[in-house]
Amino acid sequence: MRLKLLLISLLTLLMGCSEVYNSNAESNVSSKIEYPTPEVGEGTHIKISTTEGNFNVWTKKIGNNPSMKVLLLHGGPGVTHEIFENFSKHLPDAGIEFYYYDQLGSYFSDQPDSPDLWKIDRFVDEVEQVRIALGLNESNFYLFGQSWGGILGMEYALKYQNNLKGLIISNMMSSIPAYNKYASEVMETKIDTDILSKIKSFEDAEDYHNPVYMELLIEHHYVNHILRRPFQDWPKGVVRALEHLNPKVYIPMQGPSELGASGLLEKWDITESLSKITVPTLVIGAKYDTMDPGHMEWMSTQIPNARYAYMPNGSHLSQYDDEDKYFNSLISFISDVNTPMN
């Protein structure tokens, strides 16, 4: 039943019919809009300025540490902080302060219907405005990005790394063309030939709304490479994040297919710029990820002050299917950067 409900939710999202909280570009937007309350509790809305006007983005602080503060960048684009709900089980006990954050266009922030806003540079500027509002700086600011959030984190570091104490790139390659190559040459070979043919026939016909298409993806791709559990055992936060996905952001940037990227990100590639990232960096890869773990290990050799953490049981959301190793690696990195050995 939950599988059927998710199929219905995802299909509704892909057709652009989900409930969203739009806003006009006004300076006092938070007093004019009733925002939904996240499962993790009420937070703070931060006003950001764009070329399309002022909007509000949602954040919530967890913990308190003057020297270790982590801002979480979720994937998508257009997913939500809910993908990170299990971070509260691990980081506070390690004395690490962190911030949940829904980027502009995501469910708990404003969702303006302005296609010109969905550009990497605009998102980078948004992160910088959020950093300033939260009072984060080079003495305490760790930026964590997973999937699309990893793209955003790398781009932020290339422009504003003087503001960073550390960077974490989780489950994201430095090149979308390389990702697409890996998807076609490796990931697709892991799907039964007949099943893959059916999936491709739906994509060739652009029949992404067909419930059979989504069912095939979930049964033969999602549970093997997105989160390695039967769907009925997926964490509630992950399911909610998918239900809250904003297709008006996701599809233009990522594209409608889950077997590669075809949107505005299709040609994104910063492999030649990795050496310019000089802040301490952790790159996290996983054996069963949709992203090539070999490429992510290679990335850690190109960034001058980087280390690599490999999740042998993990997939794209390895914070869930290789949870202990994932958080041990993350916490060790942050702690090591915070108290460097002489």
Give CA–CA dist 111/254, Å, rounded.
17
- Does the annotation count 125 as an active-site position? no
Beta carbons within 10 angstroms of residue 31's beta carbon: 8
Q: What domains are there in the chain, each with its CATH number?
A: 1-342 (3.40.50.1820)
- Range name among 6-10, 47-51, 276-280, 329-333 with the lowest pLDDT average: 6-10
Of 102, 125, 289, 292, which is the active-site residue? Answer: 289
Per-chain mean pLDDT for the chain: 90
Residue 167 or residue 262, greater confidence: 167
Query: Which tokens go with 173?
Result: 């390659």
- The continuous run of DSSP H or E covering 143 comes out as strand 141-146
- The continuous run of DSSP H or E covering 217 comes out as helix 211-217
* Beta bridge mates, 99: 61, 71
Query: Which tokens go with 149?
Result: 């959030």
Of 9, 23, 147, 175, which is the active-site residue? Answer: 147
pLDDT category at 14 given cuts 50, 70, 90 is very low
Beta carbons within 10 angstroms of residue 300's beta carbon: 20
Q: Give the per-residue pLDDT at 334.
A: 98
Q: Give the per-residue pLDDT at 264.
A: 94
CB 18 within 8 A of CB 242: no
Give CA–CA dist 223/202, Å, rounded.
20
- Does the annotation count 90 as an active-site position? no
Alpha-carbon 215 to chain mean position: 23
Query: Which tokens go with 336?
Result: 């090591």
pLDDT category at 340 given cuts 50, 70, 90 is confident
What is the per-residue burial (b if ≥16 Cβ within 10 Å, else e) of 120-136? bebbbbbbeebbeebeb
Q: Give the per-residue pLDDT at 122.
A: 98
Give CA–CA dist 126/15, Å, rounded.
27
Give CA–CA dist 112/55, Å, rounded.
8
CB 145 within 8 A of CB 170: yes
CB 318 within 8 A of CB 171: yes
Give CA–CA dist 126/106, Å, rounded.
13
- Does the annotation count 147 as an active-site position? yes
Q: In what order do the strands lie in the sheet with 44-50?
A: 44-50, 53-62, 97-102, 69-73, 141-146, 166-170, 281-286, 306-311
Give CA–CA dist 130/134, Å, rounded.
6
Q: Is 333 exposed, middle or buried (0-12, 13-18, 19+ CB in 10 A)?
A: buried
Tokens 């799907």 correspond to 191
Give CA–CA dist 239/230, Å, rounded.
12
pLDDT, tens digit (0-9, with 9 covering 90-100), for 30-61? 445 788 899 999 999 999 999 999 999 999 99
| Helix ranges, 148-192 (H) | 148-160, 176-182
- Integer-rounded Cα Rg, in Å, for the chain is 19
Of 90, 225, 295, 316, which is the active-site residue? Answer: 316
**46 phi/psi in degrees, rounded to 5:** -105, 130
pLDDT, tens digit (0-9, with 9 covering 90-100), for 71-121? 999 999 999 999 999 999 999 999 999 999 999 999 999 999 999 999 999
Comparing CA positions, the residue from 148, 115, 140 lying closest to residue 279 is 140
Give CA–CA dist 218/224, Å, rounded.
9
Query: Which tokens go with 113?
Result: 């219907």
For residue 309, give Cα distances in angstroms to 280, 296, 318: 14, 9, 11
Alpha-carbon 49 to chain mean position: 22
Give CA–CA dist 7/5, Å, rounded.
5
pLDDT, tens digit (0-9, with 9 covering 90-100), for 143-195? 999 999 999 999 999 999 999 999 999 999 999 999 999 999 999 999 999 99
